[in-house]
């Protein structure tokens, strides 16, 4: 029997591609297997409807995936497969693919978040194959549960059943957890005193949680309504939150954060409420609802009750944020009004991601903390974009969560680097990012900050070490700025 071997490269790991291929193979009555490998996804398949199968892969691919190439070869293989299955990824491979960035919560998971009858009601880490943290929690690639911080949480029988059920949206979802087996959150004051009841799993698997999570978010909303400043751990790092309609609270945040004039981003609970304040166009709305969900800089229509002088002094625009994770969606829904949502750091320092680091650095800023038990390995600020006024061209002002670390120009890179030298570019002094070219792709790190800050310099070194580990490479060529101060 003829065996077809299909190689698919691109952003095809961590996006539900293997379960997607599995279900297509079932539809077309094909036999064989699908797996991740160092170049993306490999499919070994036998059957009659190969052309239709390939066409469906191209046309129906998962929303968050990006296919760069599909190559197929055939061989006369004497092995006859009885079924189609998902094959485990080989161990200790070094990937040569675009990495998987973090994705905003999808509509299906958002519905579960707010469904009182669902077992994940108010569980902020509800994810599936199409959404949730990826790059932020990954120790190494390919993207498998055992290579991420999620591996600390063992799936309960209900989650495991979802993981093994082809018709389920969490079929082979590597980030699958629930209130019974998953990530816990607490609310404390700035001295560390726990103010919220600890979320406890139901007594039996499959039972609904008693909604301790809901109680925590209600208490958080009360503190924000009192004008307090809260440092909340999101899935890519800490954010500082306060009531955007409370001028005193916003001014106090500026004072404590040592940020005298730079505008703050504003988190709006819904698009309808955002439209009351800002000139939101269709292309803005499309970005907010995309897997990247960046901050968009938008002109003010009606400041209304916003503390606009404290939020964006002398400006006619606001950096608008739409809640893109369960943590932000539940906070925004419970509070109901616009919130300041700015990076959890002192002005000039990198964003905090570790609980002890956040307590040490942010206790002089935050009145309260919301911590959770998911470790973050790659802390990232939010990406920021704007659109040009005449032709509405998208301009990326800060390239971080959702966009980093990939840069898609593999064909051009192959022409400019025919010798395939391993390259490390160290970036600029201001607004630093680093770029690694360890293989056939270029990886541009998330925004790191200004290198005059020592903590930012350390974050850059940590990022370089992370890339060296992920890609098992040592740079043959190092590019640096020719500024004379860089020679020291």
pLDDT tens readout for residues 286-316: 999 999 999 999 999 999 999 999 999 999 9
Q: What is the pLDDT of residue 446?
A: 95
Cα 21 to Cα 27: distance, rounded to the nearest angstrom: 10
Structural domain boundaries enclosing 457: 405-487
Whether 307 and 438 map to the same domain: the answer is no
The CATH number of whichever domain residue 409 belongs to comes to 3.30.420.360
Total domains, the chain: 3
Cα 374 to Cα 176: distance, rounded to the nearest angstrom: 13
Strand order of the β-sheet with 84-86 is 66-76, 2-11, 40-46, 31-37, 84-86
Whether pLDDT at 201 is above 70: no
Residue 144 lies inside a defined structural domain of this protein:
no
Whether 297 and 430 map to the same domain: the answer is no
Whether pLDDT at 488 is above 60: no
Q: What is the pLDDT of residue 348?
A: 83
Would you state the structure tokens that stand for residue 415, as one six-digit string?
């022409």
Whether 326 and 435 map to the same domain: the answer is no
According to DSSP, the residues that pair with 371 across neighbouring strands are 186
Terminal C-alpha separation, the chain: 65
Whether 357 and 410 map to the same domain: the answer is no
Whether 368 and 419 map to the same domain: the answer is no
Q: What is the pLDDT of residue 207?
A: 60
Q: What is the pLDDT of residue 193?
A: 93
Would you state the structure tokens that stand for residue 20, as one six-digit string?
């997607």
Segment 37-48 mean pLDDT? 94
Residue 192 lies inside a defined structural domain of this protein:
yes
Which of 355, 372, 389 is a domain's end point? Answer: 372
Confidence class for position 90, pLDDT limits 50, 70, 90 = confident
Mapping DSSP onto H, E and C, the string for the chain reads CEEEEEEEEEECCCCCHHHHHHHHHHHCCCEEEEEEECCEEEEEEECCCHHHHHHHHHHHCCCCCEEEEEEEEEEECCCCCCCEEECCCCCCCCCCCCCCCCECCCHHHHHHHCCCCCCCCCCCCCCECCEECCHHHECCCCCCHHHEHHHHCCCCHHHHHHHHCCCCCCCCCCCCCCCCCCCCEEEEECCCCECCCCCCCCCCCCCCCCCHHHHHHHHHHHHHHCCCCEEEECCCCEEEEEECCCHHHHHHHHHHHCCCCCCCEEECCCHHHHHHHECCCHHHHHHHCCCCCCEEEEEECCCCCCCHHHHCCCCCEEEEECCCCHHHHHHHHHHCCCEEEEECCCCCCCCCCCHHHHHHHHCCCCCEEEEECCCCCCCCCECEEEECCCCCCEEEEECCECCCCEECCHHHHHHHCCCCCCEEECCCCCCECCEEECCCCEEECCCCECCCCHHHHHHHHHHHHHHHHHHCCCCCEEECCCCHHHHC
Cα 151 to Cα 166: distance, rounded to the nearest angstrom: 21
Cα 236 to Cα 197: distance, rounded to the nearest angstrom: 24
Which of 347, 372, 397 is a domain's end point? Answer: 372
Residue 199 lies inside a defined structural domain of this protein:
yes
pLDDT tens readout for residues 327-381: 999 999 999 999 999 999 987 899 999 999 999 999 999 999 999 999 999 999 9
Whether 368 and 415 map to the same domain: the answer is no
Whether pLDDT at 440 is above 90: no
pLDDT tens readout for residues 116-133: 999 999 999 999 999 999
Whether 270 and 409 map to the same domain: the answer is no
Whether 220 and 362 map to the same domain: the answer is yes
The CATH number of whichever domain residue 71 belongs to comes to 3.30.70.100
Confidence class for position 205, pLDDT limits 50, 70, 90 = low
Residue 329 lies inside a defined structural domain of this protein:
yes
Whether 342 and 442 map to the same domain: the answer is no
Residue 172 lies inside a defined structural domain of this protein:
no
- Range name among 123-137, 207-221, 255-269, 381-395 with the lowest pLDDT average: 207-221
Residue 346 lies inside a defined structural domain of this protein:
yes
Residue 139 lies inside a defined structural domain of this protein:
no
Confidence class for position 454, pLDDT limits 50, 70, 90 = very high
Whether pLDDT at 200 is above 90: no
More confident residue, 123 or 91: 123
Residue 324 lies inside a defined structural domain of this protein:
yes
- Nearest-5° angle of CA 176, CA 178, CA 179? 160
Q: What is the pLDDT of residue 206?
A: 58
Segment 267-294 mean pLDDT? 97
Whether 217 and 345 map to the same domain: the answer is yes
Residue pair 383/292 in contact by the 8 Å Cβ criterion: yes
The CATH number of whichever domain residue 283 belongs to comes to 3.90.870.10
Whether 201 and 64 map to the same domain: the answer is no
Letter string b/e over residues 350-374, b meaning 16 or more CB atoms within 10 A of that residue's CB: bbbbebebbbebbeebbbbbbbbbb
Which of 44, 61, 86 is a domain's end point? Answer: 86
Mean pLDDT of the chain: 93
- Range name among 101-115, 188-202, 324-338, 440-454 with the lowest pLDDT average: 188-202
- Count, residues in the chain: 488
Residue pair 36/86 in contact by the 8 Å Cβ criterion: no
Q: What is the pLDDT of residue 2?
A: 87
Would you state the structure tokens that stand for residue 426, as one six-digit string?
């160290």
At a CB cut-off of 8 Å and minimum separation 6, what does 260 contact?
254
Confidence class for position 409, pLDDT limits 50, 70, 90 = confident
Whether 251 and 194 map to the same domain: the answer is yes
Q: What is the pLDDT of residue 75?
A: 84
């Amino acid at each position: 029997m003829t065996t077809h071997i299909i190689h698919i490269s691109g952003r095809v790991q961590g996006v539900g591609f293997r379960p997607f291929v599995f279900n297509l193979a079932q539809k077309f009555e094909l036999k064989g297997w699908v797996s991740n490998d160092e170049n993306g996804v490999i499919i070994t398949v036998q059957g009659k409807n190969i052309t239709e199968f390939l066409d469906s892969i191209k046309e129906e691919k998962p929303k968050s995936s990006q296919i760069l190439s599909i190559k197929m070869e055939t061989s006369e293989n004497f092995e006859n497969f009885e079924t189609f299955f998902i094959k485990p990824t080989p161990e200790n491979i070094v990937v040569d693919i675009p990495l998987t960035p973090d994705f905003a919560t999808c509509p299906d998971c958002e519905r579960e978040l707010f469904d009182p009858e669902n077992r994940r009601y108010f569980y902020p880490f509800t994810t599936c194959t199409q959404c949730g943290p990826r790059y932020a929690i990954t120790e190494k690639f390919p993207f498998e549960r055992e290579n991420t911080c999620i591996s600390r949480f063992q799936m309960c029988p209900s989650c495991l059943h979802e993981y093994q059920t082809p018709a389920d949206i969490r079929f082979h979802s590597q980030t699958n957890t629930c209130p019974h087996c998953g990530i816990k959150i607490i609310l404390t004051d700035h001295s560390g005193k726990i103010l919220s009841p600890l979320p406890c799993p139901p007594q039996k698997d499959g039972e609904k949680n008693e909604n301790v999570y809901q109680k925590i978010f209600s208490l958080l909303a009360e503190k924000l309504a009192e004008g307090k400043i809260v440092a909340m751990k999101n899935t890519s790092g800490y954010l500082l939150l306060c009531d955007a309609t409370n001028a005193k609270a916003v001014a106090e945040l500026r004072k404590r954060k040592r940020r005298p004039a730079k505008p703050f981003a504003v988190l709006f609970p819904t698009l309808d409420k955002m439209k009351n304040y800002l000139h939101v166009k269709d292309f803005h709305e499309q970005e907010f609802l995309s897997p990247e969900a960046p901050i968009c800089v938008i002109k003010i229509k009606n400041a209304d009750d916003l503390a606009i002088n404290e939020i964006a002094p002398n400006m006619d625009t606001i950096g608008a944020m739409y809640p893109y994770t369960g943590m932000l969606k539940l906070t925004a829904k419970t509070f109901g009004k616009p919130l300041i949502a700015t990076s959890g750091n002192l002005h000039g320092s990198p964003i905090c991601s570790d609980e002890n680091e956040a307590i040490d650095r942010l206790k002089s800023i935050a009145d309260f903390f919301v911590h959770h038990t998911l470790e973050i390995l790659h802390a990232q600020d939010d990406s920021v974009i704007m659109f040009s006024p005449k032709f509405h061209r998208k301009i990326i002002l800060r390239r971080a969560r959702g966009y980093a670390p990939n840069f898609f120009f593999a064909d051009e890179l192959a022409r400019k680097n025919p010798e395939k030298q391993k390259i490390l570019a160290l970036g600029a002094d201001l607004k630093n990012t680093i770029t690694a070219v360890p293989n056939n792709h270029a990886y541009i790190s998330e925004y790191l900050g200004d290198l005059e800050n020592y903590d930012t310099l350390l974050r850059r070194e940590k990022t370089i070490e992370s890339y060296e580990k992920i890609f098992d490479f040592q740079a043959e060529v190092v590019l640096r700025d020719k500024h004379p101060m860089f020679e020291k």
